[in-house]
Chain A
Amino acid sequence: MAAVSSTYKDPSDTFVWWIEGDRLAIATTEGDGGTNETDKGQLKAVSLGSGNTITDGLIISYYAEPDKLTSITGTIDIDNVLQPALIDYVKSKALMDAAARAKDPGLAQIKMASAQQCMANYKEAVRRYGMKKNDKVGGTRAIAPVDMR
Chain B
Amino acid sequence: MAAIEFTGKEIYSRVLQAVPDVSENYVLNLINEALIDMGRYTNQIENAKTDLKHNQLWYALDDDEAITVNKLFRCTILNSDGEYIKIPRLSNGEIKQFYNESSTSSNTSWTEV
- In the complex, the number of residue pairs spanning A and B with C-beta atoms less than 8 Å apart equals 309
| Contacts from B to A (Cβ < 8 Å) | 2, 4-9, 11-12, 14-15, 18-19, 21-22, 24-28, 30-39, 41-63, 67-80, 82, 84-91, 93, 95-97, 99, 104, 111, 113
Interface of B is mostly: mixed
Query: With A16-B89, A50-B54, A130-B41 given, is the CB distance from A59 to B73 under 8 Å?
Result: no
| A31-49 residues at the B interface, CB under 8 angstroms | 35, 37-38, 42-49
User: How many A residues touch B, CB cutoff 8 Å?
Assistant: 82
| Contacts from A to B (Cβ < 8 Å) | 3, 5-12, 15-20, 22-27, 35, 37-38, 42-69, 71-80, 82-83, 85-87, 89-91, 93-95, 97-98, 114, 122, 126-127, 130-131, 134
Taking CB atoms, residues of chain A closer than 8 Å to B49 are 56, 58-60
Q: Which A-B residue pairs are the 9 nearest by beta carbons?
A: A57-B52, A65-B39, A11-B77, A18-B93, A61-B74, A72-B8, A89-B34, A16-B90, A48-B54
Taking CB atoms, residues of chain A closer than 8 Å to B87 are 11-12, 15-17, 26
